[in-house]
Amino acid sequence: MVIEGPWMRSREPEGPKFSLGSLVATPNALITIPQEDLRKATARHHCGDWGELEAADKKANDEALEHGGRLFSAYKSRDGTRFWIITEADRSVTTVLLPEDH
């Protein structure tokens, strides 16, 4: 017997929460992270899903989203490579980079 109800349906993802500005990536990120992983992570970042951050860092991003400030997300590619996405406080540029590129 299958039990269904509204609580069983997945929520529709929320749309973009801010402007990404110009989207750039370091050469190292472009050759290391599969393009599909870059695309998915950038979409998550754009919608306010901050990835693999501690609760305090996620809260800081939520506050920066509301009051202005830099936005920082951390993700892992399918092979486990950690990478970051940073949107500047003025929302002019979003950069994808590996931690060692910083």
- Average pLDDT of 61-71? 96
In this prediction, residue 48 carries a pLDDT of 96
Note whether 86 and 51 are within 8 A (CB): no
- Average pLDDT of 72-99? 98
- Average pLDDT of 62-84? 97
pTM for the full model?
A: 0.85
Task: Classify residue 80 as left (phi > 0), alpha (psi -120 to 50) or beta.
Answer: left
Where does the pLDDT of residue 1 fall: very low under 50, low under 70, confident under 90, or very high at 90 and above?
very low
Note whether 23 and 85 are within 8 A (CB): no
In this prediction, residue 46 carries a pLDDT of 97
Please say if the pLDDT value at position 3 is more than 90.
no
What six digits make up the tokens of 52? 């693999």
